[in-house]
Structure formats: structure tokens, C-alpha cells
């Protein structure tokens, strides 16, 4: 069957042409830790779209890891490397123990969450509220790094509440830098710990990329990765002229096929560029889903992450609706995904036929 052409995912903008700050940084392109979203099934799906992206788990709190289902929290597919575990906590000994567990399980990095503004984590002294206590964060960093050989990194905001001056940010980073931390992932918005919801804290406080650029100038030996407001791969090229990496979050979840551009645009030369098609990605994910299903994983736990695969395409709404209505059934198998793929091929063929009929002879 003749397939319609896919949209072009190539670009003339190569790492050489863009004069990026550091083309070999392991943190050049990262996919953000997102609660209830970036689980191992989601990350496997993302890895199908990009071989180069650095992946992050959902935040796991230290009590959950120490006293809970450790195997579940530390589970990942080998294909996910490089993979980082994000921890939430403020007890240095507990964080060190969890970092040790992560390294033993094969994680490539442990990231400390100092950016989440939700009330729930604040009550447990987790997340953005830790920016008010840089000495405590430094103590936690030192405890973790002393137990492992993999990098310990910190994800944080540019400020919190009224403690949001540039000097406050530099004091926080410098305190950690003096403790030995060299990798900082900076969400380029401040956080209001009271008065704004976590969603509002991702949207209402204005972005300030320039402040992050100046942070890099102040700490040139540190690896600085920027997060916030990056909704297209094309948006990443400007920050990469100033910084060591970028981190993309919800945009990649809602429209995952944008990740098909990552390896070509940010890592490859034109000769190395590869063409990626949605249908082939779905076929690969179906194979994964059958394997996971045989291990007792419900289809919905996997299929919910791929609803946006055909976003903006002919039949994309049908694909999303079909999965939403059928994959959640208790007896659903990956056959549902196979049927969804067949439906998309029909939609694509019809679109091709309509386009051909409208072409002047």
C-alpha cells in the first residue's frame, strides 16, 4: 500500500552551524521528570523517538523508596539509558541511601528535586522550598555524592517567593558549587510557594532565560541546563548557544512526535540524519506492549502515553478516541493498538487519495 509522505523532520540547522556551547554535553537534550507521566512505559516510547535524549523518572520520595515497593520505583528498561532517577527528600542520610540504591540498579544519574512547588511536597520539606535552605541542600548533595560514583545533579527554580533576586539564585548555586555540585537543571521561572497551584507555577511566573544565561557566565565550569517554555525543538537552538543543555517537558508528552526531530537537529550531521515515521514507531511500541502484557501489565498503563502520537495528522482525533475508549477495558490486549494502526493507515490512504484528486493534471 502506498503511504502518504510524512512531514519533513530534517533541518539545515546542524550542531556545527549553530555554534552550540557544548555539543558533546551528556545533558544536551533532556526529557523532564513528570509525576504520573514519565514512567518506564512512557520513557521506552520516548526512546523509540530519540536515541540521544537523556531520560528522567518521575520524582520518587525517599520514604517511598526506603519503605515502599523498591522494585517498582526503580524499574526501567535497559533501552532507556542514559536514565536518571529523580529523588525528593531533605534527609541527607536517606537521600544517600537512595542514591546508593539507584547506582546499584544501574541508573546513570540521581537528580535532587528542588523545584516542585506543590503544597504536598512542601509539607515534607521537598522541592522548591529547599531553595530557602542552600546549606541543607549542600549537605544532602555531599551525602549522596559520597556514596556513589554517578553524577548527583540538582533541579531548581530561579527563585521562590520574595527570595528571587539574582544574588539569591547565585548564593544557592554557589553554595552547592562549593560542595562539589557541577550540574544544575534550572527551570527559568520563580515559584510562588503559596497562592499558585503547581500548574499555575508552570505558566504564570514569567520566564527569564537571560538570568540563566548570566548564571552560566558566573559559573562557567558548571553544566547548566535550562527548562521551561520549550515547546518545539527549534526553540532549543538559541539556549544551546549559551548553555550546556535543554530540558523539555509537557510539550513532548502531548505531542511526542516532536522528539523525532531531536537526534537529527541537535546531534546529527545531515549525512547521519534518519527519517522516522509514526507508523513504524507504533509498530515497535506494539511489540513492546505485547511483551509487557505477557508480564501482566494492563494495556491502558502503556497506551495512555501514546495518545498524542498522531496529533495534527489526518485521523489523529480518531486514533486518540479509539484508544481512549478501548484500551482502558480490563480485558484489552495490544490487539487494540494493532487495530488503531490499521485505522490510521486507512485514514492516511484516504488523505493521499484526496490530495491526488485535487492535484491538477
- Catalogue the active-site residues: 116
Helices of type H across the chain: 15-18, 40-49, 62-67, 70-73, 92-105, 119-122, 134-147, 166-179, 198-201, 209-218, 250-254, 262, 278-294, 299-303, 316-326, 335-358
Q: Measured between alpha carbons, how far is 258 from 274 in angstroms, rounded to an integer?
A: 14
Q: Measured between alpha carbons, how far is 223 from 217 in angstroms, rounded to an integer?
A: 11
The three grid cell numbers given for residue 144, joined into one nine-digit string = 549522596
Query: Phi, psi (5° rounding) for residue 206?
Result: -70, 150
- 52 neighbors 25 (Cβ within 8 angstroms): no
Nearest to 308 by CA among 263, 270, 252: 252
Q: Measured between alpha carbons, how far is 311 from 324 in angstroms, rounded to an integer?
A: 14
- 314 neighbors 345 (Cβ within 8 angstroms): no
Cα 284 to Cα 77, 80, 81, 315, 334: the distances in Å are 14, 15, 18, 20, 12
Cα 259 to Cα 50, 110, 153, 236, 277: the distances in Å are 6, 23, 24, 12, 12
- 81 neighbors 108 (Cβ within 8 angstroms): yes
**Apex 33 CA angle, 115 and 100, nearest 5:** 90
Question: Could you identify the residue written with the cell 549522596?
Answer: 144
Q: Is the dihedral of CA 250, 251, 255, 259 positive or negative?
A: negative
Q: Is 199 exposed, middle or buried (0-12, 13-18, 19+ CB in 10 A)?
A: exposed
Q: Is the dihedral of CA 125, 127, 128, 132 positive or negative?
A: positive
Amino acid at each position: 500500500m502506498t503511504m502518504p509522505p510524512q512531514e519533513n523532520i530534517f533541518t539545515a540547522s546542524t550542531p556545527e552551524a549553530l555554534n552550540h556551547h557544548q555539543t558533546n554535553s551528556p545533558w544536551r537534550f533532556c526529557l523532564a521528570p513528570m509525576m504520573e507521566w514519565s514512567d518506564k512505559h512512557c520513557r521506552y516510547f520516548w526512546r523509540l523517538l530519540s536515541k540521544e535524549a537523556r531520560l528522567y523518572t518521575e520524582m520518587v520520595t525517599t520514604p517511598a523508596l526506603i519503605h515502599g515497593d523498591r522494585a517498582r520505583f526503580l524499574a526501567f528498561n535497559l533501552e532507556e539509558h542514559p536514565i536518571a532517577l529523580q529523588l525528593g527528600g531533605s534527609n541527607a542520610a536517606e537521600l544517600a541511601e537512595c542514591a546508593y540504591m539507584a547506582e546499584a540498579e544501574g541508573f546513570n544519574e540521581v537528580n535532587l528535586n528542588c523545584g516542585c512547588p506543590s503544597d504536598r511536597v512542601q509539607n515534607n520539606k521537598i522541592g522548591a522550598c529547599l531553595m530557602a535552605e542552600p546549606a541543607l541542600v549542600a549537605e544532602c548533595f555531599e551525602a549522596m555524592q559520597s556514596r556513589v560514583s554517578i553524577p548527583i545533579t540538582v533541579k531548581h527554580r530561579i527563585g521562590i517567593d520574595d527570595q528571587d533576586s539574582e544574588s539569591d539564585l547565585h548564593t544557592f548555586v554557589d553554595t552547592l558549587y562549593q560542595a562539589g555540585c557541577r550540574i544544575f537543571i534550572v527551570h527559568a521561572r520563580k515559584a510562588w510557594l503559596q497562592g499558585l497551584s503547581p500548574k499555575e507555577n508552570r505558566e504564570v511566573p514569567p520566564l527569564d532565560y537571560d538570568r540563566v544565561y548570566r548564571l552560566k557566565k558566573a559559573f562557567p565550569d558548571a553544566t547548566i541546563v535550562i527548562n521551561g517554555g520549550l515547546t518545539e525543538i527549534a526553540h532549543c537552538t538559541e539556549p544551546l548557544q549559551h548553555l550546556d543543555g535543554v530540558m523539555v517537558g509537557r510539550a513532548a508528552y502531548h505531542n511526542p512526535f516532536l522528539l523525532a526531530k531531536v537526534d537529527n537537529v541537535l546531534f546529527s550531521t545531515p549525512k547521519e540524519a534518519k527519517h522516522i515515521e509514526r507508523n513504524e514507531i507504533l509498530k515497535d511500541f506494539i511489540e513492546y506492549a505485547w511483551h509487557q502484557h505477557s508480564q501482566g501489565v494492563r494495556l491502558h498503563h502503556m497506551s495512555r502515553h501514546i495518545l498524542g502520537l498522531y496529533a495534527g495528522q489526518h485521523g489523529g482525533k480518531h486514533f486518540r478516541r479509539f484508544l481512549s475508549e478501548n484500551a482502558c477495558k480490563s480485558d484489552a490486549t495490544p490487539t487494540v493498538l494493532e487495530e488503531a494502526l490499521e485505522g490510521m493507515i486507512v485514514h492516511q490512504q484516504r488523505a493521499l487519495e484526496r490530495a491526488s484528486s485535487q492535484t491538477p493534471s
